[in-house]
Structure formats: structure tokens, C-alpha cells
Amino acid sequence: MTVYKGYIYMAKKNVGIFLLYLGIFFGIILMFQLLNRENSTGGYQKESLRIAVVDQDGGEMAEALKSYLRDLHQVIELRDNASVLQEKMFYRDVHYVVRIPEHFYETCIVKGEKVPVTQVPGSYTSFYVEQQLNSFLNNARVYEAAGFTEAESARESKRSADVKVELLDTSGNGGEVPNYVNYFRYLPYLFLGVLGYVVGSMIFSMKRGDLKKRMQASAISQRRQSIEGLLACATIAMILWGIVIGVAILFYGKEMNKNPGSPYLLLNSLAILCVSITISYFIGSLSKGMNSLNGMVNVIALGMCFLGGAFVPLDVMSAGVKKAAQFIPVYWFETANELLSRYNLEVVRKEVLQAIGIQFVFAGAFVCMALAVAKRRRAV
């Protein structure tokens, strides 16, 4: 295993890069975790705004409208004094003013005229209140058209229309995206970045200068040299995979235990690891210097991660980009990752295994390409 030891010796010279990428990766994950805590699904709730109501009618329907708005917002009643209203809006004591005109039921419900309102210019909150106000008016007009009296329409319109939503638990996580999804989403960049540089520099160092001539004059066959080189690359990769998965279990072990798809999640990470090894070996075989190696690693790692859905979610990509991304192994890794996080394993098992299998096919293709390049260079 002399060749294997030589590769490992070369890898030890790049421990700094190895640790640097790990530090960047864990820093990004920590940042996203902090953001997710502030923007979890449990944080979505109705927004309550400060609204002023000027009631010039005092009828039953006007009282129903005020009751409806109180259920949704902080409502204060004011007199129709232009200077007071302007002062309140200037200092943002209120964000919206609703004027209920005289004969409100006849003019705004029966005849369908608009309710006079005043809003802060350019404020998005005005659209929010306007939508709710229109909802109340439309419901009241439906009751009036159905033959209800003003008292009956007011009573029905005043009733709360709270809607209870029950999430369909297709993934076993109550409709919430598990915290470890983002952790696994960025693994391709870590694997391609670390292995691309470390493995690529190993391969490049073993084929330059007198070391290349010694390797060619060695009694060890070229085939065995290639196999031992791949074995050394696999060793470095498994060390990286062990660190990453160990940290994932340490921080997300309880969540992952609840998900029956976790073993497939680990298998998916192992598949992209194999792809990263073979791509790195291929890059090292093609590179003609450290500068070209750095350039290829950055272009391939960033390009695959952007197009494959690691940095930009697949949901926001256009159909054309998705079709092109299917020729990138990272796309299939992210597809399997998303399926396992959103759906029950029994429903998507076939699609997940298909995505994982395609990644191993990509890995095999890159191995063949790397060995072909190595063979051609030896012939030259």
C-alpha cells in the first residue's frame, strides 16, 4: 500500500483547507438555524393594526362593521375632525381611517357604493385592511340580496368567520420542515469544495515532476496505482462524511429518529459523497497546475450547487432550468432531500431510490472518465 500511503501524506498537507471549509459550512448552518427560529411556521398569525373609525350613522350595520373590525384590529372611535385625524396619521397613532357615512346600509350595502377611507400613502398595510373591509361588505350585500333585513344582515355579518386549518401530515412532521433539511441541503458544496481541493491536489501532486517518473518506473501496475489512489480518496471522503454525519446526529438526532426516512437521508448523502470523490479525482486528472485546479473546483462546486438547488430552492426555478439541472448530480441529491423532508417515506420511496441510484450512475461515469484521462496521459 505504498501508493496509498503516499496519497495520504499529500492529503495531510491540506488539513488547513479541510478545516476552513468545515468552519464555513458549520457557520452557514448556524446562521440559517438562527433565521429559522425567527421565521418558523408557528410565527404566522393575524396582524393587528391601529384603525380609527368615524361613525356618522350609528345604525345596526355600522355597529356590526365596528364589531367586525375590533375582532381583527385595534379600533378607536374618533369624531370627524380633519386636523385630529391628520395628526393621528402623521404620528402613526393610526394606520387607517374608516368613515361610516350616514345611511350606511342604504348607500354602501344596498346601492353598493364604496366606504370612504383614508390611509397612509405607500403603506402595504392598507391593502390588508381594505381586503378585510371588502370581505365584510360583500358578505353583507349577499345577505341583503338574499332578502335579509338590515338587522338580520348585521347579525350574520358580525359573526366571526374564523377558519380552522388542519395540516395534512404527509411527512410525519406535522407539516413543518425539519431543521436538519438545511443542514443536508448544503452538503454538496462542502463535499465538492473540500474533496475537490484536497483530492484534486493529491492527484496533481502525484503526477508531477520526478514523482511521476518514479511512479511509472515502479513495479506496481498502473491499474493498482489508480485503485490505491481511489482508495485514498475514499478514505479522506469517509473521514469528512463521518464528521458531518456525527455533527448532524449530535444536533438533530431526536428529530431524525422520528423520521423513518432518515436512513435514506444518510444513503443520499453517501451517494453525493461518491459523486464528489469521482468528480474530484477527475478534476485532479485534468488540472495542469494549482491555479487551474482552484478555478475548476470553484466553477464546478458553485455552478452545480446553484443549478442543482442547493443555494436556490428547486421550487423557485423555472421549468427550463429544472430540465437542464437534471443533468447535474446535485439536482438529484436535492430532489431526494426535498422528498424525504416533505412526504411520507411510503409514498416517495420509489422516487427517492431512483434519485439516489442516478447519483451512483453519475459517480460511475466520472470514474470511467477519470481512468480514461489517466490512461491517455500515460500513453502520451
Q: What pLDDT shows up at residue 44?
A: 44
Give me the residue label for grid cell 335579509. Answer: 148
> Where does the chain have alpha helices with state H?
2-12, 15-38, 60-72, 82-90, 104, 125-145, 150-158, 180-185, 187-206, 209-217, 222-258, 262-286, 290-308, 319-325, 329-342, 345-379
Distance CA 256, CA 248 (A): 9
In the sheet that holds 74-77, the strands lie side by side as: 74-77, 50-55, 96-100, 117-119
Q: What pLDDT shows up at residue 219?
A: 65
**158 with 64: CB under 8 angstroms?**
yes
Higher pLDDT, 79 or 159: 79
Amino acid code (one letter) for 248: A
**pLDDT more than 70, % of the chain:** 84
Higher pLDDT, 31 or 280: 280
Q: What pLDDT shows up at residue 230?
A: 76
What 3-state class would DSSP assign to 96?
Answer: strand
- Check: pTM over 0.75? Answer yes or no: no
Amino acid code (one letter) for 106: E
Distance CA 205, CA 216 (A): 14
pLDDT digits (tens, 9 = 90+) for 314-365: 778 888 888 888 999 999 999 998 888 878 788 888 999 999 999 999 999 9
**269 with 361: CB under 8 angstroms?**
no
pLDDT digits (tens, 9 = 90+) for 169-224: 555 555 566 778 778 888 888 888 888 888 877 777 776 666 666 666 666 666 77
* Half-sphere CA count of 107, side-chain side, radius 13 A: 13
